[in-house]
Copies of this chain bind each other. A is one copy, B any other.
Amino acid sequence: MAERDADTQRRSNEPPAARPTIADVARLAGVSKGLVSFALNDRPGVSADSRERILSAAAELGWSPSVRARSLSSNRAFAIGLVIAREPGIVAADPFFPTFMAGVETELSGSGQTLVLATVTPGRQEADTYRSLALDKRVDGVILTDLRTGDERIALIDELGLAAVTLGRPDTDSPFPAVSIDDEAGVTATVDHLAQLGHRSIAHVAGPSSMLHAARRRRAFERAAGAHGIAPRVVETDFSATEGAAATRHLLGDPDDRPTAIVYSNDPMALAGLAVAQRAGLIVPRDLSITGFDNTDLAEHVYPSLTSVATDVAAWGAIAARVLLATIASEPVDNTDLPPARLVARESTSHSPHHP
């Protein structure tokens, strides 16, 4: 009798018909709330007969559990978080995040989970953001992108009791599964490609060495260049088009000691570099070969079209989400490796001018 009277809830004029609650289902099936809960989370201790009756009662009423109620009583959020800590300008220029999020979303949409997004400017604010997401359990886990060297976030998130996956393997001990793409393979393929075209002077415009994937690409470059007996030349940037352009101006500054090919660590920098070269009167690829990374949509639509390294970012997002959900469900999961990045050769690379 202590049950609330569902009908009085509905007496208001006409607004969105009140959702049925678990009590309504219990009443219709002639069982207790508790048993309904058991049946619907299919846990043992419910007879086949009751389960049947409960499920059809739920179906008849069109009942679905209230995430908010579930979230309060079971201390889960049914949401995962993505904290983006990059300068706004750099995020915007880089199609990585939208694509990645679309991939995450494909995986989430079926699961009833939602994606909570936070963009912060790097720094102290970042830790606070994780802290507040965790303190109030607004998310059950997070996807850690843009890993840094000695990334403090790993310890922080562990301490906060959140689940997580990392994009790529961190350089420190991590309790979280990693979902990785072998982008070194892409860099190696790029350098091989250029070497094969006769280039002996190849430079690399790298991202910030504090970012693990930038550092990894750089090391792969140095290794691949070394393998061809080429002295690697590297300029470090923040991944922005502006610094990509500056790095290019620097590299092309001395006409007597100018690389014949430049390997950029992302596409926006490569495009900016292309413009710098053209502005300096060089013809790409006749005078200078250029390669990008990530195979942005635009890469095939510029002139000359840009040789780049393709990674399946959307798939990365989908798999990261899947692994995270499994982790949250405390299914043990292993590190996962995606198919390696592959080179897409286009017009911006050709024979070295010194090697006709």
Chain A count of residues within 8 A CB distance of the other chain: 63
Partner of A303, one of B64, B117, B275, B297: B275
Check if A101 sits within 8 Å of B72, measured CB to CB: no
Check if B298 sits within 8 Å of A268, measured CB to CB: yes
Does any Cβ of B come within 8 Å of A188's Cβ?
no
Check if A68 sits within 8 Å of B79, measured CB to CB: no
Task: Report the bound CA distance from A169 to B79 in whole Å.
Answer: 32
Tell me which residues across on chain B come within 8 A of A129, comparing CB atoms: 109
Task: Report the bound CA distance from A160 to B136 in whole Å.
Answer: 27
Does any Cβ of B come within 8 Å of A21's Cβ?
no
Does any Cβ of B come within 8 Å of A122's Cβ?
no
Does any Cβ of B come within 8 Å of A69's Cβ?
yes
Does any Cβ of B come within 8 Å of A233's Cβ?
no
Tell me which residues across on chain B come within 8 A of A102, comparing CB atoms: 88, 91-92, 119
The distance from the CB of A246 to the nearest CB of chain B, in whole angstroms, is 10
Check if A89 sits within 8 Å of B297, measured CB to CB: yes
Check if A136 sits within 8 Å of B67, measured CB to CB: yes
Partner of A136, one of B68, B245, B272, B302: B68
The distance from the CB of A51 to the nearest CB of chain B, in whole angstroms, is 24
- Check A115/B114 contact, CB under 8 A, given A68-B137, A98-B92, A302-B275: no
Tell me which residues across on chain B come within 8 A of A64, comparing CB atoms: 135-136
Check if B98 sits within 8 Å of A114, measured CB to CB: no
Check if A15 sits within 8 Å of B161, measured CB to CB: yes
> A69 — nearest CB in chain B belongs to which residue?
B72
Q: A residues engaging B (CB < 8 A)?
A: 15-16, 19, 64, 66-69, 71-72, 77, 79, 88-89, 91-93, 95, 97-99, 101-102, 105, 109, 114-120, 125, 129, 133, 135-138, 159-161, 240-242, 244-245, 268, 271-272, 274-276, 278-279, 296-298, 301-303, 305, 314
Show 26 A/B contacts (Cβ-Cβ < 8 Å), sorted by A.
Answer: A16-B160, A16-B161, A66-B136, A68-B68, A68-B72, A68-B137, A91-B102, A92-B99, A93-B296, A93-B298, A98-B98, A98-B119, A101-B119, A102-B119, A105-B119, A109-B118, A109-B120, A115-B117, A116-B116, A241-B301, A244-B301, A245-B301, A268-B297, A271-B298, A276-B303, A278-B303
The 4 lowest CB-CB distance pairs between A and B, nearest first, are A275-B303, A92-B95, A272-B301, A93-B297
